[in-house]
Structure 1
Amino acid sequence: MGVIRNFIYILSFALILITLQACKKDKIGFQEDNRIQQEVINTSKLRVINLIDMNQVIVNNRDSLTNFIQDDGSGQNYLKRTRYFSLNGRLGKTWNIPQAILNSTKATDIRLEANGPQLSIGKVSFQVKETDTRAKDYYVWTSEKFVEPDYPQSRVLEIPRDETGPQRAGYFKIRIINLAAKIKSSGQGTTPDTEDLLDQYTLSYANGDAIHQRTSQIAQGKWSEYVEIPYGTYQFRVLTSDQRQLPYGQNPPVAETTAAVDPATSSITERFQKGQYISFAPIKNYMPGGVYTIVISPRSLNHYMDEGGSFIPNFQNAFEIIEDIAPPANITLAHLQAVNALPGSSDISLRIAGQIINQIAYGKASPYQMFTKGSYKLEALDANQKVLATTDVLLDANDNVSAWVNQNAQGQTQISVAHNNLTGYWYVPGGQDNAVYNQITQLFPFNARFFNFCPEEPYLTFAQRTGEKIGAGGGAEQQYYTEPAAFQNLQPGQVINRYPYVNMGGAITAPFNIYAFQSKPNSVPGNWLPDLKNISGQDFIANKDLYTVRGNLPTHERGYYSVALIGSYKATSPAHKPKIIIIKHNQ
């Protein structure tokens, strides 16, 4: 009997194990793979760069790799995915060619077409081939319908691509490719008054300074070497030989400018008006380890056809940023600069981790220095290396910090640490629980934060001459939220960290001025300080020659700025009396 009972126990235990194992297998079946691209596709070292809105791909004259479905307006069939185009079944800006479509000689024939409501841009056929271990790009850059036929480069240009990152830590690599051509003066996609921008081109910083000799005066159909630049926030410009700015290869962001491009000046315009002399060029964070190409080619840009605000396309030579190597996440490096706002001082220095940022003139900012994340002691030094003030700062990866050396209300030297936001992200308060939809991204920002570094002004407010608050009004005021504390009743040395920025954008055509007021907590804006020279939007322009070459100045220049009242009424030197200064944080 005991034997039978033991057998029953063993049998029951075995059945339980089998049941549990079966349940375990069943649970695996409920797992889902939600990745858009589930298949692992090995890519070659070849890449197609599509600059003219082609969207369909055929290889070897027979195999269609895209969906060839025209949108019927429902938005459903347009997104039919294919094996090699798993996002929406269509060719985008860049395409890494799979190894599977190359033949035994590591080559294949490709034909690109456009299927949809685009302007008629025809078809283009070319062969791609791997010849060695070096990566190559095939730039499909123009439609012959919109350019004169005397360009020196082929319609599909094979250009080597660098797959090695920068040699120096904290740097990125960049180059320039000139695929410009002479735009036809008449026909679909052109207007008779289109500005002629065909030239040699130079890659420059926002102030017009060339970034390197090797990326300057690049001729038509040629490309430069890569150069290494410290990571940071840049607004690169592409300039002709006479310093005219090229527009960017996509239309200005409507949410930020409500604008199009004037063909005669290649600058932003509003509502069928003349161009306002400010060209759209995105402000972007270029991260350590990234590799980038800036390419110039004929592009379709919107311009106004009537006063009602209707757009039509117009071709013009414009530049675009192509990512050759995506940068890894920056988990180590931060930026810090020093600003001398100390009245009565000559050149001062800032010491951090044994490194000295030297000879910062009064009212000026030092270049940014790179540091690894961590806690640091900051020391402000006079010309004799005497310590004037100290403070501690915690730097995290990707931080951008300005250390303002100034004087507090008691006349003592202090260091005010400001963490700058150069990301382009702007938080919009609202009712979302997790804030996923409570932020917007700016490509063309005009953002400023404000400081009071005058020890004799206990409360300072920045406002327009009439006392109206500064910043964009109307709908933009709701979209780019700023708390009044960012520019009202600022105390000496105070750093506002909650919603510290003011969106100064608004209309491209609207001029503005900023005045300083002596205010009180219960009286805003207070009394205007007439002895202080106000600043205008045009005071934000670093190099006016970049604009007067076309005949006039814009109302302002986009970028990230700090605006501060510095100086002391007790200073003996007129240069150290109170005045408003502007520090620009992007290059």
Structure 2
Amino acid sequence: MKRTLIYKPAYCSMFLLLLFTILTNSCKKENLYGTIPLLNVADKSASAIRLYNFDDPTDVTVNSIPLTAYANPNTPTTGTALGLSIFPTGIWTNGDDGSPFVVPNSLLDKDGKAHFTMLIQSTITSGSVGEQSTIDTTIMNNATQPQDYYLMPNGHFKVVNRDNVPPTNSQNFKIRVINLGSNVYGDPSGLNIKGPVSLTYADGSPVSPALNNVAQGAASGYVELPYRAYQFKLFIANGAIDVTRQLAEIPSSAYYIPGNFGPLPQEGLIPRVRTFKPGGVYSIIVSENIQPLYRDVNRFTSGMPINSYRVITELDPGVNSTYAAMQAVNAIPGKQLTINVDGQPLGGPLPYAGSVTANTAQQAPYQIYVQGTHHIQAKDQSGNVLADKDIKLFPYDNYTIWAYDQPDGKPALLFEANDMTGTLYLSQSSQSGYVAPDDGTNGTLRRGQYNYALESRFLNLSPDLPYATFTNDNQLFLPAVAASGIDKGDTIRFFSAYVNLAPGAMPPNNSSILYSLPFVSPAATGVPFGNSEKGIVPQLIRGYQSKPGDKPEVPGLLLTTVAPINVLQAFIANPALYTAPQFKTAETGIYTVALVGAINASGTTDKAKLIVIKHNK
């Protein structure tokens, strides 16, 4: 047998070559364009310490580990992998939700403590000069009683016990009011927004006695409500609410005129329409916040401390994978109907919607259903089934079931999908700067959201009107194309939403029109939500008989027998909430304008009529 001999010098050379190759490959790293690789802190063990920032943008160090960039004119913006994973912008911001963050257990010392040193960047400025203040404190982790720490505008923490217990009914959410309002800075605005507060729905009606007259420095108990979209309002109250002392919801600001030295009415402050998740726990927290308002007539000094509020998520239940919501409307003249879902009534007996007083937004009750297929029936007072149809629900679906007469005289059901988000799909990316390739793989880049939107769709439910067009008085809902903003080059009032609508037809795309109506204070230092379209909101909405085709007639022939909708009546939840006329304007929310009844009906009760349904409470 032949033996192969390897001489020692050759053996050593081969070994060294192999070792060099291994070391070279093991040290090779991918070039990430100079970025700091982020850590997935969401998968790390979390402590019971959660902090919210109600003050100004703040730099944070925990147990001598800096988590933010501490950027200043002499120091470039940098950060650590852990810090940028928690604070991607390099600083702890003071967002609408308080920008909460939970301290990872890995940052605690051996005794379970977190020693914080913080540098607060003040937004109260004289010209362009701000101030800085520091915080040095230690917090003990208490796993048996989790606590939230709110960094208040006075530079101190307010400690509140956290509720990690979900609602007893999984369809519901829990909500409370915490009144941490104060006058640490005095009351330079002179608005006198302080004292007990009460929570109401959009029309000023109370949510619950437990959420009324919550004293300053106190917290209410929790109240369970069915999940859905709400537009809560908060008022100073002394027994009854004071409609002239409404609180602004951050990031909106109070109504203030620079140099004012007396109380101004606080009315018409537009809060967001929010969908509260089933299983979630929320708090509405009042605090003294530095609002971006000019304080003097020369508009030199900015930053006005005024009590306002935030909506805080205490317990996020995650993605809703179970529940959807439906309501029903009867658009068949002369009949009282019951809409059954799987054999059970939805909302009880329903009168004809056209019999309701004109220029009043109706609110049909909602019920919660589990995702999946459901059988819908419309029955008359004798129990006869007039129409039936199946619907397949997905989580978070929001539907209005309409019963109406078709052109052939037979009753039918229409399922109207309601968008409760104020979101539109744009023809170009809405993101500024480089975020991700706009290559069609990420639809987020093409979505534009309007947090303060009057959003409405239109329905033609008249059996003898082949095509209907709805108008802003006697013109279309213009402008058709936006010249600026996130929707530049697009429209937020698509023709398809209101032009040439056949009976029972719903456009598959671009089915709503939208007006952006943020409340902008006269003293505002900027327009963070975009310009308000208050000046072009319709005063009257009319119906026309139109015609599509090669020779279209749009808007067409005015329906003179159909009274127009007065927007300042039908699109205001409660006129009694306004004492000063300058604040009275169409309110944000999600609506449907429907033409019901017959154009050529002989009886007055069957005559065609425009009605308004409001889908949020």
TM-score of the pair, normalised by structure 1: 0.81
The residue number in structure 1 matching 2:594 is: 564
- 1:535 and 2:565 correspond: yes
The residue number in structure 1 matching 2:527 is: none
Pick aligned residue for 2:474 from 466, 482, 495 = 466
1:299-326 per-residue CA deviation (whole Å, 9 max, x = no partner) reads: 1223367999999432211111122122
The residue number in structure 1 matching 2:256 is: 263
Secondary structure of 2:160's aligned partner: strand
Q: In structure 2, what is the Cα distance between the partners aligned to 1:309 and 1:342?
A: 57
Q: In structure 1, what is the Cα distance between the partners aligned to 2:191 and 2:101?
A: 32
- 1:128 and 2:139 correspond: yes
**How far is the alpha carbon of 1:555 from its aligned partner?**
2.0
Relative to structure 1, the CA distance from residue 71 to residue 586 in structure 2 (aligned partners, 3 Å threshold; closer, same or farther) is farther
1:211-240 per-residue CA deviation (whole Å, 9 max, x = no partner) reads: 222222111011122222221222222122
Preserved CA contact (<8 Å) 1:261 1:302 = no
RMSD over aligned Cα atoms: 3.5
The residue number in structure 2 matching 1:421 is: 419
Tell me the amino acid that sits aligned with residue 514 of structure 1.
Answer: I
- 1:335 and 2:331 correspond: no
Q: In structure 1, what is the Cα distance between the partners aligned to 2:405 and 2:298?
A: 54
Tell me the amino acid that sits aligned with residue 442 of structure 1.
Answer: Y
1:154-206 per-residue CA deviation (whole Å, 9 max, x = no partner) reads: x42211111122221222222211111137567xxx54xx4221121112222
Secondary structure of 1:360's aligned partner: coil
Preserved CA contact (<8 Å) 2:596 2:611 = yes
The residue number in structure 2 matching 1:80 is: 79
Relative to structure 1, the CA distance from residue 350 to residue 470 in structure 2 (aligned partners, 3 Å threshold; closer, same or farther) is farther
- 1:545 and 2:614 correspond: no
Secondary structure of 1:195's aligned partner: coil
**How far is the alpha carbon of 1:210 from its aligned partner?**
2.1
Preserved CA contact (<8 Å) 1:136 1:159 = yes
Unaligned runs of 5+ in 1: 6-18, 145-154, 252-259, 266-273
Q: In structure 2, what is the Cα distance between the partners aligned to 1:110 and 1:483?
A: 52
Question: What number of residue pairs does the alignment pair up?
Answer: 534
Secondary structure of 1:574's aligned partner: coil
Pick aligned residue for 2:314 from 310, 324, 339 = 324
The residue number in structure 1 matching 2:410 is: 412
Secondary structure of 1:461's aligned partner: strand
Q: In structure 2, what is the Cα distance between the partners aligned to 1:554 and 1:479?
A: 29
Preserved CA contact (<8 Å) 1:183 1:316 = no
Q: In structure 2, what is the Cα distance between the partners aligned to 1:540 and 1:234?
A: 16
Pick aligned residue for 2:100 from 94, 98, 104 = 94
Unaligned runs of 5+ in 2: 5-17, 94-98, 125-129, 259-263, 354-361, 430-437, 517-531
Pick aligned residue for 1:278 from 265, 268, 272 = 268
Relative to structure 1, the CA distance from residue 121 to residue 218 in structure 2 (aligned partners, 3 Å threshold; closer, same or farther) is farther
Secondary structure of 1:580's aligned partner: strand
Preserved CA contact (<8 Å) 1:343 1:571 = no
Relative to structure 1, the CA distance from residue 238 to residue 373 in structure 2 (aligned partners, 3 Å threshold; closer, same or farther) is same
Secondary structure of 1:114's aligned partner: strand
The residue number in structure 2 matching 1:8 is: none
1:492-528 per-residue CA deviation (whole Å, 9 max, x = no partner) reads: 1112221101113352244522111111111000111
- 1:202 and 2:198 correspond: yes
The residue number in structure 2 matching 1:14 is: none
Pick aligned residue for 2:340 from 344, 348, 351 = 351
Preserved CA contact (<8 Å) 1:471 1:477 = no
Relative to structure 1, the CA distance from residue 532 to residue 134 in structure 2 (aligned partners, 3 Å threshold; closer, same or farther) is same
Pick aligned residue for 1:451 from 459, 483, 488 = 459
Preserved CA contact (<8 Å) 1:427 1:480 = no
**How far is the alpha carbon of 1:390 from its aligned partner?**
1.2
Preserved CA contact (<8 Å) 1:470 1:514 = no
Relative to structure 1, the CA distance from residue 77 to residue 440 in structure 2 (aligned partners, 3 Å threshold; closer, same or farther) is farther
Q: In structure 2, what is the Cα distance between the partners aligned to 1:138 and 1:248?
A: 20
**How far is the alpha carbon of 1:113 from its aligned partner?**
2.3
Tell me the amino acid that sits aligned with residue 113 of structure 1.
Answer: L
The residue number in structure 2 matching 1:579 is: 609
- 1:377 and 2:403 correspond: no
Relative to structure 1, the CA distance from residue 160 to residue 440 in structure 2 (aligned partners, 3 Å threshold; closer, same or farther) is same
Q: In structure 2, what is the Cα distance between the partners aligned to 1:183 and 1:309?
A: 23
Tell me the amino acid that sits aligned with residue 220 of structure 1.
Answer: Q
Preserved CA contact (<8 Å) 1:173 1:290 = yes
The residue number in structure 2 matching 1:516 is: 543
1:16-35 per-residue CA deviation (whole Å, 9 max, x = no partner) reads: xxx9xx99x97998789996
Relative to structure 1, the CA distance from residue 528 to residue 29 in structure 2 (aligned partners, 3 Å threshold; closer, same or farther) is same
The one of the two structures with greater contact order (alpha-carbon pairs below 8 A, sep at least 6) is 2
1:386-414 per-residue CA deviation (whole Å, 9 max, x = no partner) reads: 11111221211221111110111122111
Q: In structure 1, what is the Cα distance between the partners aligned to 2:598 and 2:299?
A: 50
- Percent identity over the alignment is 26
Relative to structure 1, the CA distance from residue 111 to residue 433 in structure 2 (aligned partners, 3 Å threshold; closer, same or farther) is closer
